[in-house]
Structure 1
Amino acid sequence: MTPIFRTRDAERLALARYRDLLDEWPVPHSHCMVPSGIGETFVLSCGPSDRPPLVLLHGAQANAASWLADAATWARHFRVHILDMPGQPGLSAPSRLVPTSHAALCWLDDVMDGLGVVNASFAGISLGGWMALSYAVSRPGRVAQLVLISPAGIGRQRAFLLKAWPCLMLGQWGLRRIRRMVIGPVAGTLSPFHAKLASLMEYIGLHARIQPIVLPRFSDAALGSLAMPVMAVLGGKDVLLDSAHTRVRLERCVPHACIHWRPEAFHFITREAETIQAFLLAPDARGMP
């Protein structure tokens, strides 16, 4: 099994900082380890237990911490469950989860069953968007609403690593440059907590091993099968995915989808919590402009 981090010391420090950050998060929350066929999954939960469930799936080289800013908003109206994907730099089992395998669907089944959730709204970013979309196509009865942020699997995937390969030869300076190309500049002044969060995500980006993933695109028929309300947030400066192509395919195959096009946004799109919440709370999300 290929280690997730480049060194054991980096892994210990990253996970210690991750745990400390969760302890400092001011939103009341709980966490548990849910068993599955590929090992235990760490789940961070917040929000009233009697509210509709919302499952969040992070992207590659990330963990549940990447959702904390948004989850603080959504926890007022939903029972939010944030999953650490196995094989990613979080607290779940280190077993590599192959997104395209049947085991990935079974893993989400196991987690949903372990949480006692029959069906839920899903939100996913990048790789997490692919996972959420795959689950919605394969298990439509378990997905009430679907939110996709820079999702893989719809538009063409760009050959970014080939372009960025010279930067990989330049150590941490090169990795920081790649990170800026993917997530863009940090806008505004961060609070002390959010500065720690950004620092943790940067540390993980510098010390976790890059796992090149080529995810297949969903067919027109698969996309057309999505009957639940769907929302997508796409960035015009995404260097990993052809977001314009994603937009065209969604408009053609999922005409009821609510698409938010952000021409100046990069792959990692922030400050969309209120927009997404409005979609999730709409009586009929299909009617949103």
Structure 2
Amino acid sequence: MARIGHFTSEAARDAYFTAYTAAMAECPEPLKTLDIETRHGTTRVYRHGVGDGPPIVLLSAMASTSAGWADHIRGLAQRHPVYAIDALGEPGGSVQTAPIRSPAERALWLDDVLAGLDLSGVHLVGASSGGHLAVSQAIHRPDRIASVSLLDPTLVTAGFSPAVLALAVPVVAVNREWLWRRFLNWLVGPALADGPAMRVVLAGILSYKNKLPPQFRLPADDLRTVTLPVLAVFAGSSVAHNARKAAERARALWPHAEVDLWADSGHHLGPGIERHVLDFIGRH
């Protein structure tokens, strides 16, 4: 159990899934709820959409689960099959049974999921830390991927802002609900922080022990190996990092990429991003 993500107690698990059920109720009803077996455990996947476009796979921000895509699934699924994944090793509907020791091993897990879904030519869409996972997949296991779309990705082309680092240390050390609430309120704004999608993040932070390998800023040499089509959208008002510097570095490392800076958007890019992503996917 020491190297496997788990809930801290049965009571904590029950409390978490109360929040999870409420958050998932905000999403469109999936066509299918799938549990895909991999060498590292069982992965929960929600299938949406009946279109004949290429498949879109959604990778959520840390601990936000598939519920984090509630505002975007309907738009993305109009012409495409859409698969929202609860990341293995994080709180949610997936159940980890074997350790994931490295980014390369995590990429092996996601490749197992795509194989279990019988998918190829996949367009990965990752938000925040899900963007980091999408790029890592393109580095380590690119064969099933057609493109990656990154929505204010963290630790890809820029580190966290000094403010995030300064605030996160005491928040993690004290680990109290009221302090986490204040941190999330600052990170995403009060309107989002009190919604069901953020309440499930908070519940996961408080009730689940994540044993995934830590995410570090990806090395430039690794990033240069990504030759797949890349869309990177950075939020100019994000407090997570310096979005302008992140965008500039993305352009330098990926001359082939489409890199945008949404000057007035916060870390959660909000409504409209799905149209931007679909336009990119339609051209690749």
TM-score range, shorter chain: 0.7 to 0.9
Cα distance change, pair 98–243 in 1 and its aligned pair in 2 (3 A): farther
Superposed counterparts of 1:97-246, under 5 Å:
98=100, 100-151=102-153, 152-158=155-161, 160-167=164-171, 169=174, 171-186=176-191, 195-205=195-205, 207-208=207-208, 214-246=214-246
Structure 1 vs Structure 2: percent identity of aligned residues?
Answer: 25
Considering Cα pairs closer than 8 Å and 6+ residues apart, tell me whether 1 or 2 has the greater RCO.
2
The CA deviation at 1:110 is 0.8
Cα distance change, pair 239–100 in 1 and its aligned pair in 2 (3 A): farther
Two-structure CA RMSD over aligned residues (Å)? 3.0
TM-score, scaled relative to structure 1: 0.82
Cα distance change, pair 176–255 in 1 and its aligned pair in 2 (3 A): same
SS in 1 for 2:47: strand
Distance 1:95 1:243 in 2: 37
Distance 1:21 1:114 in 2: 26
The CA deviation at 1:124 is 0.7
Q: How many residues align?
A: 278
The CA deviation at 1:208 is 4.5
CA contact (8 A) 1:61 1:88 kept: yes
* CA offset digits 1:60-114 (Å, max 9, x no partner): 1221111122111111111111111111110111458647433212111111110
TM-score, scaled relative to structure 2: 0.84
Distance 2:132 2:175 in 1: 31
Which residue identity is paired with 1:219? P
Distance 1:97 1:273 in 2: 34
CA contact (8 A) 1:233 1:261 kept: yes
Cα distance change, pair 24–179 in 1 and its aligned pair in 2 (3 A): closer
Distance 1:112 1:97 in 2: 19
CA contact (8 A) 1:123 1:129 kept: yes
Cα distance change, pair 121–97 in 1 and its aligned pair in 2 (3 A): farther
Q: Structure 1 regions of 5+ residues with no counterpart? A: 188-193, 285-289
The CA deviation at 1:182 is 1.6
SS in 2 for 1:270: coil
* CA offset digits 1:193-241 (Å, max 9, x no partner): x954454445445555588975333333433333322111212343333
Distance 2:82 2:167 in 1: 37
1:254 and 2:254 aligned: yes
Corresponding residue for 1:54?
56
* CA offset digits 1:9-28 (Å, max 9, x no partner): 23213224424554674444
The CA deviation at 1:181 is 1.8
The CA deviation at 1:149 is 1.4
CA contact (8 A) 1:136 1:142 kept: no
